[in-house]
Amino acid sequence: MGLGQRLSAEFIGTLWLVLGGCGSAVLAAGFPGVGIGLLGVSLAFGLTVLTMAYAIGHVSGCHLNPAVSVGLYAGGRFPARDLLPYIVAQVAGAIAGAAILYSIASGAPGFDIGGGLASNGYAEHSPGHYSLMAGFLTEVVMTFIFLFVIMGATHGRAPQGFAPLAIGMCLTLIHLISIPVTNTSVNPARSTGPALLVGGWALQQLWLFWLAPLIGGALGGLAYRAVGGEQPAPSTKA
């Protein structure tokens, strides 16, 4: 696939991740009487990745996440020349997804963007008021595991056709563990979209949700490369 096709796929896929995942938190998590709660939001994030992995995995690899792109690069699976274009497309898709979500959510009476639009945070902006260090450690470790699973599930010797299921369920489990700590990022693009609209504290704390996932992603890619063996980066020629 050409670079333009792959970037378009990343844009659409990341838009869907933010709209589906953050949208479930903003619109459905506490809906009167039939709210989906933490479990439902966790499943929603996993399902966005699962569905898009089947839809665009063969087009762009379905990264949807700067930390995934960096981790795959560290693991020898992704070329350096495509890192910046992929990250730009992912962030743009996340912003578009957040903007659509805001347009929908603001149609309800009493909507207040000060609620965070599912933004990530630590300390007083953590759902469980967890500290900066707890949030940093959580994001590093969860992104590390996410990349380790991605690298393993997509390895040439792994069972074929099941990678989207493993990756989607891994992301669901990550959210079940870490929503109370940081509202779960493991994805700088997913954090950036809502934070730009919320502003204030969300933007002030955004640095953590770039730094920690990128560190965790790179470490996860390197770790799997050491444990599971190298696999050449796939060809990106049209």
The CATH number of the domain where 209 resides is what? 1.20.1080.10
3-state secondary structure 66-108: HHHHHHHHHCCCCCHHHHHHHHHHHHHHHHHHHHHHHHHHCCC
* pLDDT reported for residue 237: 35
* pLDDT reported for residue 189: 98
* pLDDT reported for residue 232: 54
Contact residues for 238 (Cβ-Cβ < 8 A; gap 6+): 1, 2
Please report whether residue 49 resides in a domain: yes
* pLDDT reported for residue 29: 87
pTM for this predicted structure: 0.94
Per-residue model confidence as pLDDT tens digits over 165-186: 999 999 999 999 999 999 999 9
* pLDDT reported for residue 72: 97
Weakly modelled stretches of the chain, pLDDT under 50: 235-238
Please report whether residue 235 resides in a domain: no
Please report whether residue 222 resides in a domain: yes
Please report whether residue 237 resides in a domain: no
For the chain, helix (H) and strand (E) counts, in that order, are 10, 0
Please report whether residue 233 resides in a domain: no
* pLDDT reported for residue 35: 82
Q: Which range marks the domain in which residue 8 is found?
A: 3-107+118-227
Contact residues for 73 (Cβ-Cβ < 8 A; gap 6+): 79, 80, 83, 221
The backbone torsions φ and ψ at residue 205, rounded to the nearest 5 degrees and listed phi first, read -95, 0
* pLDDT reported for residue 225: 94
For the chain, the domain total comes to: 1
Please report whether residue 232 resides in a domain: no
Please report whether residue 100 resides in a domain: yes
Please report whether residue 168 resides in a domain: yes
